[in-house]
Amino acid sequence: PEYDLLVLNGLVVTDNETGEFDIAVKDGKIAEVVPRGSLKAHTASKTIDAEGGMVMPGGVDAHVHLDEPPLFGKGATADNYETGTRSAICGGTTTLITFAPQAKNQPSLLACLEATHARARDNCYSDYSFHLICSNAGPQAISEFAGLRAAGISSLKIYMTYEALQLKDSEILDVLFEARKQQIVTMIHAENGAIIDWTIKKLEEKKLFAPKYHVTSHPPVAEIEATYRAISLSDFIDVPILIVHVSSPSAAQHINDAQRRGLPVYAETCPQYLFLTRKDLDKPGFEGAKCVCSPPPREGEQDHEGIWQGIENGTFTVLSSDHCPFLFDNHEIGKKTSITAEHPNGHFRYIPNGCPGVETRLSLALSAHRLQLQKFVEVTSTNAAKLYGLYPKKGALVPGVSDADLTIWYPEGMKEFTLKNEMLHHNVDYTPYEGKTLKQWPRYTVLRGEVVWAKDEGGLLGKKGYGQFLKRGVSSLAGSRSKEEWNVEDF
Ligand code: URP
Ligand code: ZN
Ligand code: ZN
Ligand code: ZN
């Protein structure tokens, strides 16, 4: 046969084009994207009839926590590289960028990178890369940025909160200064740690421990202040940053203002800030713990609306999952119930922060019928590939260049269904979206030409170990405004 795979009769949607195209795949790459019907005379080992359903570049999820040790002091993540990447492909995501965490007592980033490679190697169903989490920005770590680039890592994450991870502003400047030299994108968790710790103390004095007080202890002002501070530090050094998991429309407004001033400030939001609210944490017993993440879900529809508008108007570059899985119960450490001898009814402060969602990200966002289809592809696949140096290998369908990674949806008219955790492939005992009505689910996922998920024809078909590590280059989105070296005398 001439081709390995043909995908016929689809409505092909990329970030910049929509049309009735047929796709041919050879040796794991996109070989042809041509008007419907033009591949009739060609032979292939396998053919998928998309029956008019949408065909998109495979999802790229650039914010996923897998097999992380209990860095926040609250337990290890429930998914490892096997279960997390498995869950990803069953939900239409073919590439993950996960985190390689560095603890404060570890001076070397390269050692942390090696340790994370060992956890992922031969275990992945999806393709993958890592962002380094830098929580010790000492001289050794800073001196290793060039080595990270040589190892195919072009992004870092830093924290402005969490005692175990938080950097001081002077350390953030050290990171940004070297990131500028090495063309590294710095992702920033922007919450003011002092405001959060102070508010937690005030709540404890009043013996308020229920899960809903997690929201109270992470007020919008903590996010807004830190976001503006992060923008200011990036402006000073003239270096691109991405503010991760933005939940507050007012924080998004600061980001939008910075973008209008021409600063290379990017932003990410997540499904939890489009579909969950404070009410989801205010449920009988400990149920609310299932939706504890930081920043927390906000008040209600107005906040959701502000975040949707931020996606539509380009303030948000990417829609990632921030999949950070913890078991609700039946686990010694990291369980969401957070029951201790001292707090037999649990205490919000000890609930590990994070929600699972790598498998539901695409379906939730598409089922909402809110975004233009090309915008949907842009924020769930293409922009992550561009920002983190994977484009156009990932996030695109360029013949001869792009990997044959595809998410193929049901033709319009798929019956609505009710989401249940038992349908998912992660290693978590709940989903925050249990009972939600969904209108779409990936029918097929294709990774480098192999069908790894076929919902009605065997489900999970991919193999552990098929997923490859992706060496990344520099971002193809706008970087530092000036190409000159940064000089303190210039200020
Ligand atoms: O609550 C969250 N987001 N947990 C994951 C860790 C992080 O800060 O991204
Ligand atoms: Zn974070
Ligand atoms: Zn809503
Ligand atoms: Zn995260």
Contact 164, 73 (CB under 8 A): yes
State which of 67, 298, 322, 323 you would mutate to test the pocket of ligand 1, scoring each by most atoms of that ligand within 8 A of its C-beta.
322
What is the band of 337 on the pLDDT scale with cuts at 50, 70, 90? confident
From the number of C-beta atoms within 10 Å of its C-beta (0-12, 13-18, 19+), residue 209 rates as middle
b/e per residue, 275-303, with b = 16+ CB within 10 A?
A: bbbbebbeeeebebbbbbbbbbbbeeeeb
From the number of C-beta atoms within 10 Å of its C-beta (0-12, 13-18, 19+), residue 122 rates as exposed
Residue 334's pLDDT is what?
Answer: 61
Averaged confidence pLDDT in the chain: 96
Spacing, Cα 300 to ligand 3 middle (Å): 7
The span from the CA of 252 to the CA of 61, in Å, is: 20
Contact 187, 241 (CB under 8 A): yes
Q: Is the pLDDT of residue 331 over 90?
A: no
Structure confidence by residue, pLDDT tens digits, 48-81:
999 999 999 999 999 999 999 876 666 789 999 9
Residue 71's pLDDT is what?
Answer: 67
Q: Tell me the Cα Rg of the chain.
A: 22
Spacing, Cα 305 to ligand 3 middle (Å): 7
Going from the C-alpha of 249 to that of each of 176, 285, 375, the distances in angstroms are: 25, 30, 19
Residue 70's pLDDT is what?
Answer: 79
Per the DSSP assignment, residues forming a β-bridge with 267 are 243
Nearest CA to ligand 1 atom 2: 354
Spacing, Cα 486 to ligand 4 middle (Å): 30
The span from the CA of 230 to the CA of 189, in Å, is: 9
Structure confidence by residue, pLDDT tens digits, 459-470:
999 999 999 999
Q: Is the pLDDT of residue 338 over 80?
A: no
Output the CA angle 267-268-272, nearest 5 degrees.
Answer: 145
Structure confidence by residue, pLDDT tens digits, 116-160:
999 999 999 999 999 999 999 999 999 999 999 999 999 999 999
The span from the CA of 396 to the CA of 14, in Å, is: 7
Residue 330's pLDDT is what?
Answer: 60
Spacing, Cα 350 to ligand 4 middle (Å): 17
Query: What percentage of the chain carries pLDDT values higher than 90?
Result: 92
Structure confidence by residue, pLDDT tens digits, 237-283:
999 999 999 999 999 999 999 999 999 999 999 999 999 999 999 99
Output the CA angle 455-456-461, nearest 5 degrees.
Answer: 55
State which of 324, 349, 428 you would mutate to test the pocket of ligand 1, scoring each by most atoms of that ligand within 8 A of its C-beta.
324
Q: What ipTM, to 2 d.p.? A: 0.94
- Mean of the pLDDT values across residues 179-206? 98
Residue 241's pLDDT is what?
Answer: 98
Nearest CA to ligand 1 atom 9: 322
Structure confidence by residue, pLDDT tens digits, 368-394:
999 999 999 999 999 999 999 999 999
- Is the distance from the beta carbon of residue 189 to the nearest atom of ligand 1 less than 6 Å? yes
Residue 413's pLDDT is what?
Answer: 73
Q: Is the pLDDT of residue 9 over 90?
A: yes
